Structure 1
Amino acid sequence: MFHSFFPRPKLFFLSAIAFAFVAVLAWYFVFAGIGDSLGFGAPEGAVEPYDLTFFLMPSNVFFYAYFAICMLSFGAAWSFIDRYNPWIGWSVWGSLLIVAVTYFGVQVTVVINNWRRPFGDTLMNALQGKPGTTAWDFYSLMLIFAQVAFLSMAVSILTDFFTSHYIFRWRTAMNDFYMSKWEQLRHIEGASQRVQEDTMRFSATLEGLGITLINSVMTLIVFLPILFGLSSYVTELPIIGQIPHALFWLAIFWATFGTVLLATVGVKLPGLNFRNQRVEAAYRKELVYGEDHADRAQPATVRELYGNVRKNYFRMYWHYLYFNVARYFYIQADGLFLLFMLVPTIVAGKITYGIYQQIATAFGQVSNSFQYLVNSWTTIIELLSIHKRLKAFEAAIDGEPLPEIDRNYLVREAEGGEMAANKPT
């Protein structure tokens, strides 16, 4: 699944995590200060732009240069380490490009968050009838938003086009590898489906989860300082009272609560989804054999196989019932949690509507990043079931024992083949 596309996967991903961790620490503790000393830092108390000039701020330009050097260094190192890998251009450099574009998306979110404050305050001034607010104030702000949005749209469209090719290249790498081992794999239940369908689903699902994870990490890196700054407006919480950096700790608590809740109630779902694919494939293949062989797909066999399908689906329905109870409870509570916590601050008149918009966006970004497992749990369940199916391929290639359900299928196939061989012609 990985070594057919990525160079030395375990070392590659571990080195990527370690390199990213060191690069982030080096930026905050070394290079950010160097940038300030060279005149690239923002003036004390300066308000960040909320238009396209945000991307041209000296501090951002300096960071972009640092970011580019880190990315190019990592890519060049792996291009040298595994220079004979035929997929190095897509697996290494393609992944780095996706990471860079993901960071750009986070930057766009920061610009829009900056924009919410003047727009919210302008809206509030107009609703209160304060003099000096004109229609052009709104139109100019909308024009700025459109400029940022259209730039983001253009980059996103091109990225989606590139990502589609990236996923197909990964699928091609897996397909070529598995087909080269076809004689060892062809007897596995649903072998054709695993090569034709599961490879595409695995690459597409994992790529989507990977981008979401990278986006969550980058969002935390960018928005945590913003949330720290906005915490100065929130001096008191209901029941709890006063705590420093209240918004930051609230985001961590709420996201941790949701993650633990859904991970606990959904612990059995990956295994059930995995078994569901197995029993469906076994039933489908028996019907396919029945099209060409009169001795296959007999009523007793079909009843047994379909009974397995029904039993597994009913179990899934039950487990998804209480999982969805917990999931939707959390989602509905999430809509009111921040507002409930900000009631004392709002009543005291310590924030404007524009500041509230900034707080809500920053809190939502940080909270959603910490809620990665909550937001991606159903997709992760699907990925785990696909991964288990493809691991059976890996086991057959490496000569390891197959999972029990695959061994049972091979026994059934052997018995069916023996029956067909003994049948009079």
Structure 2
Amino acid sequence: MFKSFFPSPKLFFASAAVWCLLAGALWFGVLDSWKPALDFFQSLAPTGVGADGKPPFITPDRLYIYAFLLITGFSFAAIWELASDHPWRRWSVWGSVIIGLSSYFNVQFDLYINDWYGSFFDLIQDALSKTRPVSGGEYYGLLFSITWVLVLNITGLVLLAFYTQHYVFRWRTAMNDYYVDHWTKVRKIEGASQRVQDDTMRFARGIQGLGMQFISSIMTLIAFLPLLWVLSRQVTELPLIGKIDGSMVFVALLSASFGTILLALVGIRLPGLEFRNQRVEAAYRKELVYGEDHEDRAEPATLKELFDGVRKNYFRLYFNYMYFNVAKYAYLQSTTFVPWFALGPTVITGAITLGFFQQINQAFDNVDRSFRFFASSWTDIVELISIYKRLRAFEAAIEGDELPSIEKPFVDSSTTEIAQAEM
């Protein structure tokens, strides 16, 4: 799955983590306040305020960190370009860097929009409470001041989605080529054709969806955690706890940790059940395919027996998903009210404005959504884990390793034995 597309996967991902840590240490230790660089970018971007009273989207500080990220990201890719001769390195290495940087830049749009919310809702509060006159020009001017930022954001998201689709399909192509090259070793593995065609497709789709969500969550935390920490200074106290530093960060982390642990415990059996579900489906489909070319295969009694195995596994899966969904939807619905509850004492005392309330609520939602990535995506993660297990066992046969015990009864077995093992 990975070595077909990435050069030395373990070393590649380990070096990427170390490179990010070194870049972070360099930035926060030396370069974030390096005056010569800041002076250079002062001449390239405005330093005033926009129509909403906030700094513009492009500022010297932002240009500085964008340049730093581009240099460090492309330097990492260039090193691997020179150090490896892997045939897919241009897509896997350069593509991963491009997707990571693009995700960060898109999060910057969200960060700017979050600041804009504060100004806009303060304006609404002034207008509704009649604390000062608000003209139509001021209202609509502020409303339309965000338009060009939204256009750029939408354009970036569309281009990133388009590029990611091609990136993932190249990954699927690399897996397909690798498995086809070793077809003689794996052709007798249960569902070999399905694993090459269907599982690689589903794995690619899963990586595309979950991978992008995960990267976006990490980038969102990098951008919004400092903001939420600063905004938390205006929160007077938390219910039942009192005043603590970074109060809303603490609430988001506590809420997400609770949900992640809860759903992981409730759904612990689901990956295995999904794995078995793919096996019984493969057995049923395989018999139908044999029946197309052989009159002595796909007899009604055999098909009924196989489909009974499919039905029993699905009913078992549905039952487990029922109590899992109770926990999932109860948790996801309740998280909507967590920041409102946490901000209760601050709102009651009138310590913040409507704009600030909206701003901190939006920042909290971004941080909380990123923290609870695993909780929100657990169903998709379960499916991806089951696909990973099938492909990993498939690769064990290619590499000459011992097959997992769950696979052994299905190698070189008859269709009836498959059905009996499942039932």
State TM-score, norm by structure 1: 0.91
The answer on whether the counterparts of 1:51 and 1:144 sit within 8 Å (CA) in structure 2 is: no
Q: How far did 1:95 drift?
A: 1.1
Pair 1:208–1:59, CA change in 2 (3 A): same
For 1:422, the equivalent position in structure 2 comes to none
**1:24 is the counterpart of 2:24:** yes
The answer on whether the counterparts of 1:258 and 1:374 sit within 8 Å (CA) in structure 2 is: yes
Pair 1:403–1:279, CA change in 2 (3 A): farther
Q: Counterparts of 1:4-43 in structure 2 under 5 Å?
A: 4-35=4-35, 38-39=38-39
194-203 or 67-76, which deviates more: 194-203
Q: 2:83 aligns with which of 65, 81, 84?
A: 81
| Equivalent position amino acid for 1:410 in 2 | V
Q: How far did 1:404 drift?
A: 4.0
Pair 1:107–1:119, CA change in 2 (3 A): same
| Equivalent position amino acid for 2:341 in 1 | F
Q: In the TM superposition, what whole-angstrom CA distance separates every residue of 1:52-107 from its partner, at most 9, and x where no partner exists? A: 9644211111111111111121001101110x222111111111111111001110
189-198 or 143-152, which deviates more: 189-198
Pair 1:235–1:130, CA change in 2 (3 A): closer
**1:327 is the counterpart of 2:335:** no
Q: Counterparts of 1:329-348 in structure 2 under 5 Å?
A: 329-348=330-349
| Equivalent position amino acid for 1:271 in 2 | G
**1:230 is the counterpart of 2:231:** yes
The answer on whether the counterparts of 2:168 and 2:205 sit within 8 Å (CA) in structure 1 is: yes
5+ residue gaps, structure 1, are 417-425
For 1:63, the equivalent position in structure 2 comes to 65
SS in 2 for 1:412: coil
SS in 2 for 1:6: coil
For 1:349, the equivalent position in structure 2 comes to 350
Q: How far did 1:290 drift?
A: 2.1
CA distance in 2, matches of 1:262, 1:40: 50
SS in 1 for 2:30: helix
Q: How far did 1:407 drift?
A: 3.0
CA distance in 2, matches of 1:369, 1:204: 21
Q: How far did 1:311 drift?
A: 1.7
Compute the RMSD of aligned alpha carbons. Answer: 2.3
The answer on whether the counterparts of 2:229 and 2:249 sit within 8 Å (CA) in structure 1 is: yes
CA distance in 2, matches of 1:62, 1:397: 48
**1:191 is the counterpart of 2:196:** no
Q: Counterparts of 1:378-417 in structure 2 under 5 Å?
A: 378-413=379-414
Pair 1:327–1:409, CA change in 2 (3 A): same
| Equivalent position amino acid for 2:330 in 1 | F
Pair 1:67–1:400, CA change in 2 (3 A): same
Pair 1:38–1:155, CA change in 2 (3 A): closer
The answer on whether the counterparts of 2:54 and 2:116 sit within 8 Å (CA) in structure 1 is: no
Q: In the TM superposition, what whole-angstrom CA distance separates every residue of 1:192-219 from its partner, at most 9, and x where no partner exists? A: 2211221122122113322222221221
139-148 or 8-17, which deviates more: 139-148
CA distance in 2, matches of 1:313, 1:52: 55
| Equivalent position amino acid for 1:3 in 2 | K
CA distance in 2, matches of 1:64, 1:178: 40
Q: How far did 1:51 drift?
A: 9.5
- Identity across the alignment (%): 49
Q: How far did 1:123 drift?
A: 1.0
6-15 or 301-310, which deviates more: 301-310
CA distance in 2, matches of 1:299, 1:208: 39
The answer on whether the counterparts of 1:51 and 1:145 sit within 8 Å (CA) in structure 2 is: no
| Equivalent position amino acid for 2:183 in 1 | W
For 1:109, the equivalent position in structure 2 comes to 110
How many equivalent pairs are there?
412
| Equivalent position amino acid for 1:125 in 2 | D
| Equivalent position amino acid for 2:279 in 1 | R
For 2:276, the equivalent position in structure 1 comes to 275
The answer on whether the counterparts of 1:55 and 1:61 sit within 8 Å (CA) in structure 2 is: no
| Equivalent position amino acid for 2:63 in 1 | V
5+ residue gaps, structure 2, are 418-423
Pair 1:301–1:35, CA change in 2 (3 A): farther
Q: How far did 1:48 drift?
A: 7.7
Pair 1:356–1:320, CA change in 2 (3 A): same
CA distance in 1, matches of 2:37, 2:200: 51
The answer on whether the counterparts of 2:4 and 2:178 sit within 8 Å (CA) in structure 1 is: yes
CA distance in 1, matches of 2:414, 2:53: 65
For 2:206, the equivalent position in structure 1 comes to 205
12-21 or 286-295, which deviates more: 286-295
